[in-house]
Amino acid sequence: MQRRIEEELQCEAEILVCLCDENMFVISCLLKSFKAPLLAVGAGDAEVSSVRVNICCTGVLNIFIAIPGGVDARLHLDEALATVAHRIFNVITQVV
């Protein structure tokens, strides 16, 4: 799974938690060092710096997208980040 995520998203995937516990995540990983931007950014905009993905034992998928501080919160930033989340979701559903 880790290798496939790295290939699909062109990044490093660091597994943080891999437990089977009723109250814990089944898998939690940090995606970082992207070789290609996940988001088409404009001049002066920051790229996605990292993404934390938590896959819970119930099937819930949490995606936390980190961008560097000081980013201009454009009106369409949420729409742009939703595109990133959808791309990650599609990759995760293929490999898990």
pLDDT in tens, 64-82: 988 777 766 665 677 778 8
User: In the prediction, which pLDDT does 7 show?
Assistant: 93
Average pLDDT for 6-22: 80
User: In the prediction, which pLDDT does 82 show?
Assistant: 87
Between CA 45 and CA 29 the distance in angstroms is: 25
* pTM exceeds cut of 0.85: no
Domain with 33, as residue range(s), is 2-95
User: In the prediction, which pLDDT does 30 show?
Assistant: 94
CB 49 within 8 A of CB 66: yes
